[in-house]
Amino acid sequence: MTRVEEVLAGMDATRAWQEELYRDLHAHPELSSHEVRTSAEVADRLTAFRYDVRRVGGGVVGVLANGPGQTVLARADMDALPVTELTDLPYASKVTAVDESGGTVGVSHACGHDVHVTCLLGAAAALAGAREAWSGTFIALFQPAEETGAGARGMVDDGLTDKIPRPDVAFAQHVLGHEAGVVGTQAGPALSAGDSVRIAVHGKGSHGSMPHLGVDPVVLAASIVLRLQTIVARETRPGEFAVVTVGSSTAGTKSNIIPDRAVLLVNIRTYDETVRQRVIAGIERIVRAECLASGSPAPPTFEYYDQFPLTDNDAEVTAKVSGAFRSHFGESRVIELGRVTASEDFSRLPDAFGTPYTYWGLGGFGPGQPLYPNHSPYFAPTLQPTLTAGTEALIVATLAYLGQAA
């Protein structure tokens, strides 16, 4: 038996409780930074698997020291989304919550973080149950609030680097709209850096019939929205990647009132820090110039929020893990992920330690099952082979580093 086979020998028993746990987590989703029930469940299980369990910044970390060797960290995110689930699954979420604006929203695992938690607990159990098959330290890290970009930073700010051993390598995975049973790897930039900015520009209020007595922020905002399109079209080198989206533009209340301000919400995605800085500088330059052009009475303000770092997979780690995946899953089940324009905050965790990492995609949809993107109210990965493949992927990647006798 290989090391991987030794660890996977107990998977039949694991699979049964994993499916039950998954349905339970799916039916009990919790919004970002409110993962109370989920983190308690995770901590209880890790304790039962005899991990040394620590609470850090709203997350839960289980450390299993198993002799000399390297240290591997695997991470799962725990939070759900303010999305009302529209699937007809027997375990569909019926949970509602009050959001930040005071309204009632449906809550569901529309991004599949319940898959991630279930797979990592399965891998943690399998590794704990076959200690003789490997040597080193395994860290199972469950983080809150990925969707808001606050969770990984919160754990780092709470002293993560002082509270757990420094990992030599770190992994994370995400269930995506690929075929279930497949894993997708990608060296280098895999997920984009994401930035949001709230831009307020000032006008001078007036009667709608007397525009000459005011400064119209609606026209100003409209000019900005159009001019911002030139950052990608005219200022970014063809072939270089950047997205600039104005997702919201608000001003005014009535047709016959010229308001005194407008607010734009702009989203930015990039794969390269130089490009990112250039795009941000371009946005600020254009906004300031348009304000000047319109005679705006006060300078604009820029408030950056929901910022996600670049996910830049280490080439060596990715090659080693991809090779281990190919020998375990077979060539046909390991695909090239390609660059994904979505963003993640996972990389803040390994970056805090200066640890190389790789982040891979996990297929979640059976043949003939309609493919819905993450965050869709219909997003519902098939239980199997998704859970088993995700669990095996974590074990196989971990044993690529810890599977040798020390």
Q: Which residues are catalytic?
A: 79, 146
Alpha carbons within 13 A on the beta-carbon side of 74: 30
Q: In the numeric block, which tokens belong to residue 199?
A: 């831009």
Torsion sign (Cα): 329, 332, 334, 340: negative
Contact range with Zn ion by CB under 5 A, out of 94-102, 108-116, 251-259, 297-305? 108-116
Burial class (CB in 10 A: 0-12, 13-18, 19+), 206: middle
d(CA 216, CA 236) in angstroms, rounded, equals 30
Answer whether 264's CB lies under 8 Å from 225's CB. yes
Residue nearest to Zn ion (CB): 111
Contact range with Zn ion by CB under 5 A, out of 32-40, 106-114, 217-225, 326-334? 106-114
Q: How many residues bind Zn ion (CB under 5 A)?
A: 1
Q: Left if phi > 0, otherwise alpha if psi is -120 to 50, otherwise beta: which for 102?
A: left
In whole angstroms, the minimum distance from the beta carbon of 174 to Zn ion comes to: 6
Contact range with Zn ion by CB under 5 A, out of 51-59, 104-112, 205-213, 390-398? 104-112
DSSP state of 133: G
Site for Zn ion in 57-96 (CB under 5 A): none
Nearer to Zn ion, 131 or 375 (CB): 375
In whole angstroms, the minimum distance from the beta carbon of 195 to Zn ion comes to: 16
Residue 117 is a binding residue for Zn ion (CB under 5 A): no
Site for Zn ion in 358-397 (CB under 5 A): none
Nearer to Zn ion, 3 or 34 (CB): 34
In whole angstroms, the minimum distance from the beta carbon of 375 to Zn ion comes to: 6
Answer whether 292's CB lies under 8 Å from 211's CB. no
Determine which residue in the list 11, 31, 111, 287 makes contact with Zn ion, applying CB under 5 A: 111
Nearer to Zn ion, 26 or 202 (CB): 26
Whether a cis peptide bond, with omega within 30° of 0, leads into 385 is yes
Q: Where are the beta strands (DSSP E) in 78-215?
A: 96-98, 104-106, 136-143, 169-179, 183-185, 188-191, 193-202, 206-207
- Using the structure block, give the residue that is written with the tokens 């790897």: 185
d(CA 186, CA 188) in angstroms, rounded, equals 7
DSSP codes joined into one string, 171-183: EEEEEEEEETT-E
Contact range with Zn ion by CB under 5 A, out of 22-30, 109-117, 160-168, 284-292? 109-117
Q: In the numeric block, which tokens belong to residue 28?
A: 């009990």
In whole angstroms, the minimum distance from the beta carbon of 397 to Zn ion comes to: 19
Contact range with Zn ion by CB under 5 A, out of 105-113, 301-309, 314-322, 396-404? 105-113
Phi, psi at residue 67, to the nearest 5°? 85, 180
Nearer to Zn ion, 111 or 152 (CB): 111
Nearer to Zn ion, 41 or 79 (CB): 79
Nearer to Zn ion, 111 or 119 (CB): 111
In whole angstroms, the minimum distance from the beta carbon of 217 to Zn ion comes to: 33
Give the CA distances from residue 14 to residues 21, 212, 281, 398, in Å, rounded to whole numbers and listed in that order: 10, 73, 51, 18
In whole angstroms, the minimum distance from the beta carbon of 189 to Zn ion comes to: 18
3-state SS class at 234: helix
Burial class (CB in 10 A: 0-12, 13-18, 19+), 347: buried
Residue 149: name the closest of 349, 401, 374 by CA. 349
In whole angstroms, the minimum distance from the beta carbon of 38 to Zn ion comes to: 14
Nearer to Zn ion, 4 or 111 (CB): 111
Q: Where do contacts with Zn ion occur on this chain (CB under 5 A)? A: 111
